[in-house]
Amino acid sequence: MKTIVCIKYVPDTSEAEVKVNPDGITVDSSRFSFDINDADNYAVEESVLIKEAKGGEITVVSIGPKKSDVMIRMAMAKGCDKAVRIEDDRIAGHDPLMVAKVLAGAAKGEEFDLVLTGCMASDDGHMSTGVALAEELGVNHASMVKKIEVLDGGKIKVSRELEGGLMEVVELELPAVITIQTGINEPRYAPIRGIREAQKKELKVVKLDDLGVDPASVGPDASQIILEALYIPEVESSAEFIAGDPNEKAEKLASILVKGGLI
């Protein structure tokens, strides 16, 4: 099984204070820590588990700056074999369709049976890059996958997570793009010795021209999306503090929940 796994280097905004830059369309990332996108981490683990079970080769593809190399080396320490990092500031990165075109350009240069991506990026939350990538490549896809079973005859069976805990099981012919939901596995740790060993593996840094992708086709002018503004939502403060002893508090809380139709 030849697998491509697409990963994104994202800021951790869970605790840091987010400030919008004066340009109004970017955020100040100077105080953020960066790491692999959460869902992509599960995609990397899934690709390694498939390789461990079925053999094959894994290629990491990522669009990102030099400092994201540490994330790529970690994926290699876990078992990925080689990587392509696209560094080109002409890409309209805010538009998942443009990103998908670039990733497709990289994938077309590789042999593959399976492409894995995370189902969602934690920074922009579009949930569309993987699916758009399948369209660009002209292959099957399944999104929000929580289980992959490799079948004989160039097929896979996957379970898609729907709402309410429901799973949809679908069979796909390869090649296919699968977007991975968190929780499908437990991503392993990349020990430092493994990361050092991974320095020996091939990591190609390329520009759009190297991929044969026309910069004009993936730039801001080609994009149908114009990022107009970013802003911090206003904080609403309507917290009500319930007074009284524990019994009174519980009674009042229960009545609020009942009145509000919450239980």
Partner 1 sequence: MSAESQTFTERYDLLGCIQCGRCTGGCPVTVRANLNVRRFVNDAYYEEKLDELARQAEIWDCTACHTCAVRCPKGLKPLEVLLGLRAMIIESGKVEPTVRDALQSVLLEGNPWEKSRAARSDWMEGLDVKIAEPGVPVENLFFVCCTIAYDPRVQAIAKNIVRLLNKTGVDYAFLDDSETCCGSEVYTLGEEGLFEMLVEDNTEYFNEYSAKRIVTLSPHCFTTYNVHYPDLNKPVIHYTQLLDELLKEGKLVWKGDLPKKIVFHDPCYLGKQGGVYDEPRDLLKSIPGAELLEFERCRERSLCCEGGGGKMWVESESKKERLAETRIKDAKALGADIVAVACPFCVLTLEDAMKGLGYEEEMRVAEIMELLGEFIEA
Using CA atoms, how far apart are residues 257 and 137, in angstroms rounded to an integer? 50
Supply 163's token pair: 């709402």
Shortest Cβ 5–partner 1 spacing (Å): 16
Give the C-alpha distances (Å, rounded to integers) separating 21 from 18, 188, 229, 231: 10, 36, 10, 10
Of 99, 168, 166, which Cα lies nearest the Cα of 158?
168
Using CA atoms, how far apart are residues 187 and 43, in angstroms rounded to an integer? 9
Shortest Cβ 116–partner 1 spacing (Å): 18
Shortest Cβ 188–partner 1 spacing (Å): 4
Nearest CB to partner 1, comparing residues 13 and 140 = 13
User: DSSP strand E in the chain: where?
Assistant: 2-7, 9-12, 33-36, 57-63, 82-86, 114-118, 140-151, 155-161, 167-173, 176-180, 203-206
Q: Which residue has the tokens 């579009």?
A: 126
Q: Which residue has the tokens 């309507």?
A: 238
Nearest CB to partner 1, comparing residues 15 and 152 = 15
**Angle, in degrees to the nearest 10, between helices 96-108 and 129-137:** 50
Supply 98's token pair: 């443009």
Shortest Cβ 35–partner 1 spacing (Å): 6
Nearest CB to partner 1, comparing residues 33 and 217 = 33
Binding site for partner 1 (CB under 8 A): 12, 15-16, 30-35, 70, 74, 77-78, 186-196
Q: Please tell me what DSSP assigns to residue 15.
A: S
The length of the chain, given as a count of residues:
263
Nearest CB to partner 1, comparing residues 77 and 213 = 77
Give the C-alpha distances (Å, rounded to integers) separating 88 from 1, 64, 205: 30, 8, 10
Shortest Cβ 70–partner 1 spacing (Å): 7
Shortest Cβ 195–partner 1 spacing (Å): 8
Shortest Cβ 215–partner 1 spacing (Å): 32
Nearest CB to partner 1, comparing residues 12 and 202 = 12
Nearest CB to partner 1, comparing residues 24 and 191 = 191
Nearest CB to partner 1, comparing residues 32 and 110 = 32
